Amino acid sequence: MTVVIIGGGIVGCASAYYLAERGADVILFERASLGAGATDRAAGGIREQFSTEVNIRLSQAAISVWETFEANFGTDIKYRRPGYLYLARDDSTAALFEETVTFQNDHGVDSRILDPEEATEYVPGLRTGQYVAAAYCPTGGFADPHLGLQGFSMAATEAGAAIETGVAVTDLRVRDGRVVGVDTTEGRYDADVVVNAAGSWSPQIASMVGIDLPVTPKRRQALIVDPESPVPDSNPLVTDLDDGCYFRPERNGQALVGGHFGSDQPYDPDKYEKSHDLDWAADVVEHVATVADHFGPDSRVIRGWAGLYAMTPDHHPIIEESMPGLLTATGFSGHGFMQSPATGQLVAELVLDGEATTVDISPLARDRFERGEALHETYFSA
């Protein structure tokens, strides 16, 4: 079984590993360098706090891999688990927490409702005055996406996969209604199956065979901030769900800070500004200063960046056989890193077994939008 994977982000590399580990003949093509798309610029969050069963199951399956990654892959991904804390300013958001925490508990997630004063046990500098409730999960955390990518790519190579960087796929080859290979800048390659794991570029790949993939690249930004007072390592990743800003501890008291506000227009993945916007940086630091005492007026921005989320209309991925010989794994809407181990296993199952068994992915077919069965994810931030 010969499999061509398009895309050298962590979803592509995880898929290459799980396929090669099961005996497939795998070649992965990345147009630039490994991780040069979303993985290079990910915040690294890993959590189970979602509002749909399929997202919870994807993350649970992935976390079982992340927990043992260093032992099994020989790479320390700097996985820390101080928890995830969501904050509500509005009563309607607090009511949503009540509903979703019950749902999460029913699906094995150890989340719980806290009042703002209780939340200060985990976030000592929390400014409780503007909040009415919090939703906390102690098993949430974050890791280094670059190290995760390194672990999967090295393991894939050791299992026999070929990884070719600087090689772009220029066309998909079709015979009798089936994808049978790819044309690249380095020549033609036959394949029994082609996997489109190209993230923000995946619609371009799909359009080569007339498929309209509902994935839109959206620009998102993040900063490393040296706060006025250090953010302790024990601090969870904190998200103000009503305001849209978030922060988490980085190293040496610094914090990674982001916010999902500002322009939400689509971006050309080949033509977007990868540096952060200065006005946005000032704005987001002002926002997180209302969340916790750490971010006073003497806080300093150390560096920042911008990357692309491959967004679907309902913030859920598309994982499917799009046509005979073509699998699609894309549109993770900011959750690709955290869910990549599960996705790699699912891709291998679809290719080699003909069906996915690790997680029921039937809700993730792209025709859900045409059927009027789009999913709804409440926890769509970091």
Predicted confidence at residue 264, as pLDDT, reads 75
Question: What is the homologous superfamily of the domain 83-140+216-311 according to CATH?
Answer: D-Amino Acid Oxidase, subunit A, domain 2 (3.30.9.10)
Predicted confidence at residue 83, as pLDDT, reads 98
Report the 10 Å Cβ neighbour count for 70: 15
Q: Which CATH number fits domain 2-66+145-214+314-368: 3.40.50.720, 3.50.50.60, 3.20.20.70, 3.40.50.300?
A: 3.50.50.60
Give the strand order in the sheet containing 187-190: 169-175, 178-184, 187-190
- Coil vs helix vs strand at 204: helix
Low-confidence stretches of the chain (pLDDT < 50) are: none
Q: Where are the domains of the chain?
A: 2-66+145-214+314-368, 83-140+216-311
Q: Which of 81, 74, 10, 13 is nearest to 42 (CA)?
A: 10
Predicted confidence at residue 296, as pLDDT, reads 94
8-67 per-position pLDDT tens digit: 999 999 999 999 999 999 999 999 999 999 998 999 999 999 999 999 999 999 999 999
Quick one: tokens of 288?
């997180």
Predicted confidence at residue 112, as pLDDT, reads 98
R_g of the chain, CA atoms, integer Å: 20
67-80 per-position pLDDT tens digit: 999 999 999 999 99
Predicted confidence at residue 378, as pLDDT, reads 85
Predicted confidence at residue 379, as pLDDT, reads 75
CA–CA separation, 3 and 22 (whole Å) = 12
The residue type of 186 is E
Q: From residue 103, give the alpha-carbon distance in Å to each of 106, 134, 270.
A: 5, 16, 40
- Coil vs helix vs strand at 88: strand
Q: Which of 202, 203, 172, 210 is nearest to 190 (CA)?
A: 172
Helix extents (H) in the chain: 10-21, 53-66, 69-73, 91-106, 116-119, 145-158, 202-207, 278-289, 336-352
DSSP code for 276: P
Question: How many Cα atoms sit within 13 Å of 200 on the Cβ side?
Answer: 23
DSSP code for 292: B
Is-contact 257 285, C-beta < 8 A?
Answer: yes
Predicted confidence at residue 332, as pLDDT, reads 97
The residue type of 342 is A
